[in-house]
Amino acid sequence: MVNEVVVLALLQQGPRHGYRLLKEAHQLIGPEETLDPKRLYPTLRRLEAEGRIVSHPEPSALPGRPARKVYRLTAEGTRQLQALVADPGNADDRRRFFLALALLDLVPPADRRRLLDQRLVWLDRERERLGSIAARPVRTRWSAAVLAFQTEELEHEYRWIRELCAENEADEARRP
């Protein structure tokens, strides 16, 4: 799903060839993530077969070099990208959630709010899970340190998501 969303999001910015997609992916999803070159071209072929993208050959600027395929997003690809970003199921997976969050400008404020609300529900479940772990006897200081860090990280994200919800509400209020 991540490769698909990244490819569609990059093509939403304009036509690209495969190498450029690989090169620009880290700008979209961060340096820790990358498109897997082994999975990129099968993903491109599948998206083209499904009608989400189209390709055409572009002659090389260098003599003797073969033409390269340039890919472009279709209307169906745009619809699918918006659906993938707005999918509330993204809230339960850290990688998918942060990717969707990076692309929230692609979806209407109501869909943004739904995804943010789903993440808050997930964070509440995580609070309960960590609370039940904390209620058990701690065996080592290291396990206590890990639990404390995870709890602090969760609370930080919870506050941050609430701030994003408030910003989204302000965006909605400003819309005509």
Say if 102 falls within a structural domain.
Answer: no
State percent of the chain over pLDDT 90: 51
CB atoms within 10 A of CB 89: 13
The pTM for the full model equals: 0.81
Enclosing domain of residue 84: 2-88
Q: Do the domain assignments include residue 93?
A: no
Same domain, 74 and 121: no
Q: Name which residue leads in pLDDT, 139 or 8.
A: 8
Going from the C-alpha of 162 to that of each of 31, 120, 145, 158, the distances in angstroms are 26, 8, 26, 6
How many domains in the chain?
2
113 and 79 fall within a common domain: no
Please calculate the CA angle 73-104-109 and round it to the nearest 5 degrees: 115
Whether 33 and 69 map to the same domain: the answer is yes
Question: Residues, the chain, total?
Answer: 176
Read off the CATH number of the domain in which 82 is found.
Answer: 1.10.10.10
- Greater model confidence, 160 or 176: 160
Q: 80 and 6 in one domain?
A: yes
Range with lowest mean pLDDT among 62-66, 140-144, 155-159: 62-66
